[in-house]
């Protein structure tokens, strides 16, 4: 019985199937945003949104199967942020969502990116928590309440969803800060 070995990639690899899918997600984001701007709450927008958001789970599966990389650890969350923040900012610009929760989400994402870069240069690595993936899913669902045609007219649902997403986003950021503080103190000993 022969087993076909699947290719694995070392931590410094750049050209991997997972990274290719992440790059495709980044390249598809403008199409998704254009559909939101032109079509709004429409099933085509929803389908493209599902493909863009759903590819996040597939690239994670590919990375675990073929080996995680530093480039993937950087590109995957970047793609998540680009997709989510682009959609939220456009929906806020179009007065579908209020600015305050969107600004809170955007500020947290920006500050955490700066923090991750800063702490990483100090040699501290903080593993992703399950709450980080839950945060992205909740943000995606908040966006979906604005784009799925039967939900698009339910403004109270959209408000509740975006405020809940802002709350979860801030809580996950605080957890990440605490993890970084703990990892920094443990590494300093």
pLDDT tens for each residue of the chain, 189 residues long: 445 556 676 556 556 777 788 888 999 999 999 999 999 999 999 999 999 988 877 777 777 777 666 666 667 778 889 999 999 999 999 999 999 999 999 999 999 888 888 887 877 777 677 888 899 999 999 999 999 999 999 999 999 999 999 999 999 999 988 888 887 765 554
pTM: 0.85
* 125, 116 contact by CB (below 8 A): no
Q: From CA 95, how far away is CA 111, in angstroms rounded?
A: 25
Number of H helices, E strands in the chain: 6, 0
Distances (CA, A) of 110 to 3, 54, 120, 173: 45, 23, 15, 11
In CATH, what number does 17-188 get? Answer: 1.20.120.1760
DSSP character string of 109-142: HHHHHHHHHHHHHTT---PPPHHHHHHHHHHHHH
């Amino acid at each position: 019985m022969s087993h076909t070995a699947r290719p694995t990639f070392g931590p410094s690899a750049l050209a991997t199937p997972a990274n290719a899918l992440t790059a495709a997600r980044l390249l598809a984001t403008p199409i998704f945003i254009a559909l939101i701007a032109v079509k709004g709450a429409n099933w085509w927008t929803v389908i493209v949104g599902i493909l863009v958001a759903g590819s996040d789970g597939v690239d994670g599966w590919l990375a675990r199967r073929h080996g995680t990389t530093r480039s993937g650890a950087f590109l995957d969350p970047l793609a998540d942020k680009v997709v989510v923040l682009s959609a939220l900012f456009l929906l806020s610009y179009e007065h579908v969502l209020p600015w305050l929760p969107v600004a809170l989400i955007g500020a947290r994402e920006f500050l955490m990116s700066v923090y991750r870069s800063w702490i990483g240069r100090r040699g501290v690595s903080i593993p992703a928590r399950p709450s980080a993936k839950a945060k992205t899913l909740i943000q995606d669902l908040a966006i979906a309440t604005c784009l799925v045609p039967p939900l698009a007219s339910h403004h109270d649902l959209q408000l509740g969803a975006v405020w809940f997403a802002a709350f979860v986003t801030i809580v996950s950021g605080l957890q990440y800060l605490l993890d970084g503080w703990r990892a920094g103190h443990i590494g300093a000993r």
